Amino acid sequence: MVALREFYADVAAAVAAVGQTCRACGACCDFDAYGHRLYVTTLELALLTAEPPAAPAGPGRCPYQHGAACAARDRRALGCRVFSCSQAAADAEQAIYARFHERLGRLHAEHGIPYLYLDLPAAAAALAGGDSSSRTAGRHTGGRDMPPRTGTLTVVAFGDSITQASHQEAPYRWVTLVQDQLNRRLSDTAAAVLNAGAGGETSREGLRRLQRDVLDVRPDIVLVEFGGNDATPDDGRQVGLEEFGDNLHLISTECRKIHAQVMILTFPPIIDAWHCWGRHDRYAETNGPNAHVERYRQAARRYACDHRLALIDIARLLEEAARKDSPQSIILPDGVHLTQAGNRIVAQAVADAIVARQRPLSDV
Ligand code: SF4
Ligand code: SF4
């Protein structure tokens, strides 16, 4: 818990640096009324519930709220510390949350603690309803008795802004949704799904942080999602198709050296007419960036096929959904990032692939 308290001190410094103000009115701690949710990780839940709440946990609000005041102020979670109702610092807060949430995931791995990402009221209610021998996160979820989790599974999602998904609040990002699905579907496994997405990155730039963000975590599965930014019109940063293939190979080879399974994701569709690259000369030959990026998708498909790696072709799934419904339902107005529905499609495909991989092991 010392490491977690040091972590929270760093969060406080980062939040102070962006000039966040909160008058502690407590409105945002009544989650249903405010219209949002608070998720906590295993470690955060352990510290927060080190002292039980005085009031019984009710649905949709924090059990540690007494009147307007927080009765757990020095133990409160990352989300409590970073969120503010002021829109002025919203982007900076999202970036702080993403950065520290990723570090929090590493903290679990470093200390050998299974990572779970739980809805606070549901987790607090489940803990309050269980006996003292069941106060282990993961044994009770959403108030429903579950068998003890006997295995662990660490998944790192390594990619660009599609993986980071900071355009959505944390509970609606596909990486979080995969975590939710694995919590439900792998009842005997404590799964930790860590988001190592970094907005705007090419595969070349991703390689520079492979050791720190992926290999040091010692994951069982690595989801690799790059390709869109490799096609950037910026001459200094663009990555050719050959180098892109080499980078996938380097990432995959290093992951397999630590016995991690690699799953390749394709880059989502781009709506040329909406995207800021839509009229750039660089894409004249292909008549737009989407067809240009398709070459990178094809390279990723080929690489996965040639090296017998799992391919999760989210581009095709998203294209199909956009055709059936509408592009607006899947892609945000910036022409590339995903709506909540788009995030759900990716999460479903990724969770299905992971569960399918796990099944033979659990059947042994
Ligand atoms: S722990 Fe405190 S700050 Fe966080 S939601 Fe509960 S009452 Fe609010
Ligand atoms: S963030 Fe806003 S709503 Fe939440 S306690 Fe502070 S002032 Fe109140």
pLDDT tops 80 at residue 183: yes
pLDDT of residue 95: 82
149-363 has CATH 3.40.50.1110 classification: yes
Q: Which two tokens stand for residue 348?
A: 């479903």
pLDDT above 90 for 251: yes
Beta bridge partners of 201: none
Is the whole model's pTM more than 0.75, yes or no?
no
Non-local CB neighbours of 28 within 8 Å, separated by 6+ positions: 34, 36, 83, 85
At residue 139 the predicted structure's pLDDT band, cuts being 50, 70 and 90, is very low
Q: What is the band of 138 on the pLDDT scale with cuts at 50, 70, 90? A: very low
Of the candidate ranges 141-150, 252-261, 349-358, the one whose mean pLDDT is the lowest: 141-150
- Give 271-291 pLDDT, tens digit per residue: 998 988 878 888 888 888 999
Contacts of 174 (CB under 8 A, 6+ apart): 163, 165, 338, 343, 344, 346, 347, 350
Where are the domains positioned within the chain? 1-147, 149-363
Indicate the pLDDT class of residue 327, thresholds 50, 70 and 90.
very high
Percent of the chain whose pLDDT exceeds 90 = 48
> Considering every ligand atom, which ligand is closest to the CA of 33?
2
| CB distance 72 to ligand 1 below 6 Å | yes
Report the pLDDT value the prediction gives residue 56, as an integer from 0 to 100: 67
Question: Does residue 29's CB lie within 6 angstroms of at least one atom of ligand 1?
Answer: yes
Q: Which of 84, 86, 97 to mutate to test the pocket of ligand 2 (most atoms within 8 A of CB)?
A: 84
| Nearest CA residue ID for atom 6, ligand 2 | 22
Look at 160 and 22; give whichever has higher pLDDT: 160
27 CB within 6 A, ligand 2: yes
Mean pLDDT of the chain: 85
Residue 49's DSSP bridge partners are none
| Nearest ligand by distance to the CA of 60 | 1
DSSP notation for 199-239: TT--HHHHHHTHHHHTGGG--SEEEEE--TGGG-S-TTT--
- Ligand 1 atom nearest 73 alpha carbon: 2
**Cα(200) to centroid(ligand 1), Å:** 33
Residue 144 has pLDDT above 70, yes or no: no
> Which-ligand-closest: CA of 121?
1
Beta strands 221-225 and 151-159 are parallel
Q: CA triplet 257, 261, 266: central angle to 5 degrees?
A: 115
Is 76:49 a contact under the CB 8 Å cutoff? no
Is 89 close to ligand 2, i.e. is its CB under 6 Å away? no
Report the pLDDT value the prediction gives residue 57, as an integer from 0 to 100.
57
- Edge-to-edge strand order for the sheet containing 151-159? 189-197, 151-159, 221-225, 261-265, 310-312
Q: Is the CB of 97 under 6 A from ligand 1?
A: no
| Closest residue to atom 8 of ligand 1, CA basis | 29
Q: What is the DSSP letter of 170?
A: G
Query: Where residue 221 falls among pLDDT bands split at 50, 70, 90?
Result: very high
In short, whether 49's Cβ falls inside 6 Å of ligand 1 is no
CA of 37 from ligand 1 middle (Å) equals: 11
Judged by DSSP in three states, 261 sits in strand
DSSP 38-95: -EEEHHHHHHHTTS--SSPP-TTS-TTEETTEETTGGG--HHHHH--S-GGGHHHHHH
Give the closest ligand to the alpha carbon of residue 89. Answer: 2
Look-up of token digits 């969770």: 351
Any ligand 2 atom below 6 A from CB of 28:
yes
Contact call for residues 12 and 76 (beta carbons, < 8 A): no
